[in-house]
Amino acid sequence: MADSNYDRSVNTFSKLGQLLQVEYAMQAAKQGSTSTSIGIKVKGGVILAAERKFDSLQESRLMILNHNIKIQEIDTHICCVPAGIIPDARTLIDYARVESQNHRFTYNEPMSVRSLTQTVSDLALNFGEGDPSLKRKPMPRPFGVALLIAGVDETGPRLFKTDPSGSMMEYQATCIGCGQEGIQPTLVEKYDENMSIREAEVLALSCLKETMEQTASRDNLELAVIPIEGGQFIERTPDYIDEILQTLG
């Protein structure tokens, strides 16, 4: 209860130097009900793999799966996957799409992955009193969502992670969601920048399969890739995912 007076405002530091509202938002991005997602960058491109989490097997049988898509296309060369409070994620993703299209319209070129990620991170910081220079009205609290943003631009494949604090980091391979602490050591051990896109996909699905509470299947996993060749977002089919799962046993 010692910090009870410090978590009422997003602009007040606790005695330990923490912004508790931001800390709570970061916990929301990896709580137990949050699904796990993985991003892996290799020389041939970048991939995202995501778990679709259902409250029960019965719910998964009744749900229209196409309405529960985790991996979202932002532009033809950029995609992302969220972990945390999904309505917050929709706000950030919609904003990213608009900014990317505005950039294309203004400069007649695709937006770089880093610039797009920086734009999203700037919006994530726009809470509390916010920045009056921004077009968007500030949120009364931090966004409770982390994002993996992947894409291919003139510099090659890129993979970034953002969190509710507004920070962004670039990775070769990383994960978000409730299973991230169990998966990250496996990625550190098995990642090889020289692996093929297919090998990266197998590694990602293998990691998710080992940490998922429910049995991994074509219905509760998603996979997408943006290869250097063509540089276009490709969503893998359920049959493709099923083929990899069968090789994993």
Match 């949120």 to its residue by tokens: 139
Residue 213: what pLDDT? 84
pLDDT, tens only, 122-162:
888 876 555 566 566 666 578 889 999 999 999 999 999 99
Q: How confident is the model at residue 210 (pLDDT cuts 50, 70, 90)?
A: very high
Query: How many other β-carbons are positioned within 10 Å of the β-carbon of residue 90?
Result: 13
Burial readout 213-241 (b: 16 or more C-beta within 10 A, e: otherwise): eeebebbbbbbbbbbeeebebbebeeeeb
DSSP-derived secondary structure letter, 127? B
Rounded to an integer, what distance in angstroms lies between the CA atom of residue 195 and that of residue 200? 7
Q: Do residues 174 and 162 lie in contact, with contact meaning Cβ atoms separated by under 8 Å?
A: no
Among the listed residues 186, 143, 134, the one whose alpha carbon sits nearest the alpha carbon of residue 167? 143
Which of 100, 38, 32 has its CA nearest to residue 71?
38
Domain ranges of the chain: 35-53+63-248
- For residue range 50-85, what is the model confidence (pLDDT) as tens digits? 998 776 555 556 666 666 789 999 999 999 999 988
Cα dihedral sign, 40-41-42-46: positive
Quick one: fold of 35-53+63-248?
Glutamine Phosphoribosylpyrophosphate, subunit 1, domain 1 (3.60.20)
